[in-house]
Structure 1
Amino acid sequence: MTASLPDRAAFADPAQAQRIVVKVGSSSLTDSSGRLDVTRLSALVDVLAARIADGGQVTLVSSGAIASALTVLGLPGRPRDLSLAQAAASVGQGLLMAHYTRAFSVHHLHVGQVLLTVEDVVRRGHYRNAQRALNRLLDLGVVPIVNENDTVATHEIRFGDNDRVAALVAHLTQADALLLLSDVDALYDGPPSRPGAQRIARVERPEDLDGLEITAPGSAVGTGGMVTKVEAATIATGSGVPVVLTSAANAAAALAGADVGTWFAPTGRRIQSRRLWLAHAARTRGRVILDDGAVRAITIGKKSLLAAGVIGADGDFEAGDPVELVGTDGTVVARGLVGYSAEDLPVRMGRTSEQLAEIFGDADTRAVVHRDDLVQVRSPR
């Protein structure tokens, strides 16, 4: 095993991580014609199985369903038509799982399929169910293989979904590390093909990414790129999970703690699943506009949002839906679960608790967004 770097020891060296989430994209599993390359898939499985044999637990987030179906359906490349892409995903997901089942069985390991949609991480009940299912599979010694459910997705089939899914799964499973595998071996300070481009070995804080030209060539079969991988790394590290970004060819070295790829150090602490869901996974149903005092109260004062500080609202939301909380300049400062519907909120805006009690009764003096249901988000730069 390759020796780990001393300066990584303080950041949960992946060589010491017990529970790991590994994400692999279509471009790392396919040949030059865009068809699934079983040899590549088996090589990755060999690496992951070795880690499991050493006592680790691995959750694999794998793209490649649509690529698996191209030959069977006689398609020249990834379909652009949504219904055809869904059909290809339906055919290909079974083929992909069959290949994984055979490859892991060589190592006497069983796999379990977990298909997620955005709704599974938007709705709190679904989120908890997914968490329980993944943890139970790991406890049983089964390798969960996660994919975004392209067959039933509509707007969810979009650029880089599985990168975000991997970051959320890392939090769901309370992983010690997230390994993002791409067809590019690291994050560079410019396009890797550009002469003189330098590998960035470490990212210790979000500010280290400022000014970088983060790009990556597109894949004929994949949907992601370096931008989505950096976004996924930001989500994971912001919730306390360290990340290594490298190529599939470097997977074994990365898991051994070698100096490959780009290391993203955790920048935040592990947070409640609900807060991570609100910050990164929830599709908001509308916006609530706050005056300056209310913005300060919820961001600096860490207080609940009261009706007195609300000056406007947009959208069609019900009580309990996630909404964006924005300042007068339109900057999103937080997300939260709103206490009133879009129909009930306007008549309460700008009123104090005493006024609400007098007009509507004590039952309607609740916060617009309670501080326990609110998470601050990074403001746009």
Structure 2
Amino acid sequence: MTDRRGVAAARRVVVKVGSSSLTAGDGTLDVAALQALVRVLAERRVAGTEVVLVTSGAISAGMAPLGLTARPRDLATAQATASVGQGLLVARYTEAFAQHGLRVGQVLLTAEDTIRRGHYRNAQRALDRLLALGVVPVVNENDTVATDEIRFGDNDRLAALVSHLVRADAMVLLTDVDALYDGPPSSGASRISEVAGPQDLEGVVVTGRGSAVGTGGMVTKLASVAIATGSGIPVVLTSARNAAAALAGDPVDGGPVGTFFAATGRRVPTRMLWLAHAARTAGRLVLDDGAVRAVVERRTSLLPAGVTAVHGTFEAGDPVELAAADGRVVARGLVSYASDELPPLLGRSTRELRAELGDGYDREVVHADDLVLVPARG
């Protein structure tokens, strides 16, 4: 898919909408805006496209009933507000989609559901089954139980991971601006129509947090785009009022809608995307210079001879960081040994280990098939 027209032909699409697009100026839920979005999504679903909606707005929806005038900053109050607001939000979605003869299924996720492999597969099966039954999954982060340590932090990143999880053909990010600009839109910056790759973003100035009721901003959206496009999923970023045009690949005011981000990579195995973007590592292995070159340049498996130190406590199969001697993380991988097994093996060849300890101790510490490189930060 190389342009917006491919979005119109997508068999399965993930649409993410932010809090700012669903709430009024006072922070209350804007039911009319929600219903307008649902009309667009319902038309696409009735036309035959499978739609997954990733929505923010639970905390925003809970603010007014609790008499809050600003988004809560402490975790406990945020969790309580989400608990109140989530019921209201999904009820509105249920009512709105029902007017078009469609059912919705609520799916609440925490980062733990993508950190742990079993949870990830369960979420994938649940979403696949909902789609097979003709249901529109409504996905949100489970703010009620998420802690600071296991939060996605924003639904933009969640949308990208869900897009890969459900094998979407395209992702549409709906926000409070109509496109990506090369600077703050209020400063007369120019709109960027298409992004073919990271090189097109050089010199682009983006800010951090977005609206007062949201947690993201253009920074998190571009991070989400990188995850999606890097795994073969094109993205359109625009405002909620342009949702219909974005999904149909139609122009707005005579020109292309929003910003189209072309896919830059191939589809990767689910576990590799999970390992690269969602896994919380359980420890760190320090590599000598030769092992770093072997892993990074030749993409080979990590052997015991190349490991100089072990940090953390982990079991076989857990995700760990692979770091150079200077602390620079070069890769992530699924380790084949528990942390208490590794120290006696460090620096020793597989031939030596086999001769002394027997078969099984000559295996790779991290197999090449269970390893992803971490891009260098310039």
The count of aligned residue pairs is: 373
Contact conserved, 2:4 with 2:236, CA < 8 A, in 1? Answer: no
Contact conserved, 1:160 with 1:228, CA < 8 A, in 2? Answer: no
**Which amino acid letter does the alignment assign opposite residue 226 of structure 1?**
M
The one of 91, 97, 100 equivalent to 1:104 is: 97
Question: Per-residue CA shift, 1:172-214, capped at 9, x if unaligned?
Answer: 111010001111111111111112x011111111222233212
- Distance (whole Å) between structure 1 residues aligned to residue 196 and residue 323 of structure 2: 29
Q: 2:243 aligns to what? A: 251
TM-score normalised by L of structure 1: 0.94
- Distance (whole Å) between structure 1 residues aligned to residue 303 and residue 33 of structure 2: 55
Q: Tell me, yes or no, if structure 1 residue 82 matches structure 2 residue 79.
A: no
When structure 1 is superposed on structure 2, of 242-251 and 198-207 the one drifting more is 198-207
3-state SS of paired residue (2:309)? strand
3-state SS of paired residue (2:106)? strand
The one of 326, 340, 343 equivalent to 2:340 is: 343
**Which amino acid letter does the alignment assign opposite residue 130 of structure 1?**
A
Pairs within 5 Å for 1:113-132: 113-132=106-125
Q: 1:307 aligns to what? A: 304
3-state SS of paired residue (2:15)? strand
3-state SS of paired residue (1:14)? helix
Contact conserved, 2:54 with 2:155, CA < 8 A, in 1? Answer: yes
- Note the residue ranges of structure 2 that are not aligned, 5 or more in a row: 251-255
Q: 2:16 aligns to what? A: 23
Deviation at 1:314, TM superposition (A): 2.2
- Distance (whole Å) between structure 1 residues aligned to residue 152 and residue 191 of structure 2: 24
Q: Tell me, yes or no, if structure 1 residue 275 matches structure 2 residue 272.
A: yes
**Which amino acid letter does the alignment assign opposite residue 33 of structure 2?**
R
**Which amino acid letter does the alignment assign opposite residue 309 of structure 1?**
G
Pair 312,229 (structure 1): closer, same or farther in 2 beyond 3 Å? same
Q: 1:5 aligns to what? A: none
Deviation at 1:296, TM superposition (A): 2.2
The one of 359, 373, 377 equivalent to 1:376 is: 373
- Distance (whole Å) between structure 1 residues aligned to residue 108 and residue 267 of structure 2: 25
**Which amino acid letter does the alignment assign opposite residue 376 of structure 1?**
L
- Distance (whole Å) between structure 2 residues aligned to residue 178 and residue 156 of structure 1: 27
Contact conserved, 1:150 with 1:157, CA < 8 A, in 2? Answer: no
Deviation at 1:367, TM superposition (A): 1.0
3-state SS of paired residue (2:321)? strand
Q: Tell me, yes or no, if structure 1 residue 363 matches structure 2 residue 360.
A: yes
Contact conserved, 1:11 with 1:266, CA < 8 A, in 2? Answer: no
3-state SS of paired residue (2:186)? coil
Q: 2:36 aligns to what? A: 43
Question: Per-residue CA shift, 1:109-131, capped at 9, x if unaligned?
Answer: 00000001111111111111111
When structure 1 is superposed on structure 2, of 82-91 and 338-347 the one drifting more is 338-347
TM-score normalised by L of structure 2: 0.95
Deviation at 1:84, TM superposition (A): 1.0
- Note the residue ranges of structure 1 that are not aligned, 5 or more in a row: 1-7
**Which amino acid letter does the alignment assign opposite residue 378 of structure 1?**
P
The one of 224, 229, 238 equivalent to 1:237 is: 229
